[in-house]
Amino acid sequence: MPAKKRDYKKEYANYQGKPEQKKKRASRNAARAKMVKAGKAKKGDGKDVAHKNGNPKDNRSSNLTTQSKSKNRSYARTKSAGKKNPKD
């Protein structure tokens, strides 16, 4: 059976086109542009621009670094990873 083709227009309308997602994407693009201007990243280098404190809205130079895609998109594999603190 042939694979079903992705409906990119529907994906954009349902998720990627939402105002919140547009703001997040713009923030990521601004962070990448800042690192390219600083000479720490290049187009096609296979690296992600990561935020040290985990806050994607904080694009200060001191909060940005480059990481491999696999490391930046991974998550901690510990017993408490992804679990909320009951005190929150």
Closest Cα to residue 45, out of 70, 72, 69, 75? 69
Question: Does residue 79 belong to any structural domain of this protein?
Answer: no
Q: d(Cα 24, Cα 59) in Å, to the nearest integer?
A: 12
The whole-model pTM stands at 0.70
CB-count exposure of residue 57 (10 Å: 0-12, 13-18, 19+): exposed
Is residue 80 situated within a structural domain? no
**Residue 50 domain boundaries:** 8-72
- Answer whether residue 63 is part of any domain: yes
Quote the number of domains for the chain.
Answer: 1
In a domain, 68, yes or no: yes
31 falls within a domain: yes
pLDDT given at position 19:
93
d(CA 73, CA 49): 11
58 within a domain of the structure (yes/no): yes
At 88, the pLDDT band (50, 70, 90 cuts) reads very low
Confidence of residue 6 (pLDDT cuts 50, 70, 90): very high
Single-letter residue type at 36 = V
- Residues 9-51: tens digit of each pLDDT: 999 999 999 999 999 899 999 999 999 999 999 999 999 999 8
d(C-alpha 48, C-alpha 31), whole Å:
10
Question: How many other CB atoms are found less than 10 A from the CB of residue 50?
Answer: 19
Cα–Cα distance for residue pair 81/74, rounded to 1 Å: 11
Assigned domain for 26 exists = yes
| pLDDT category of residue 2 using cuts at 50, 70 and 90 | confident
Residue 2 in any domain: the answer is no
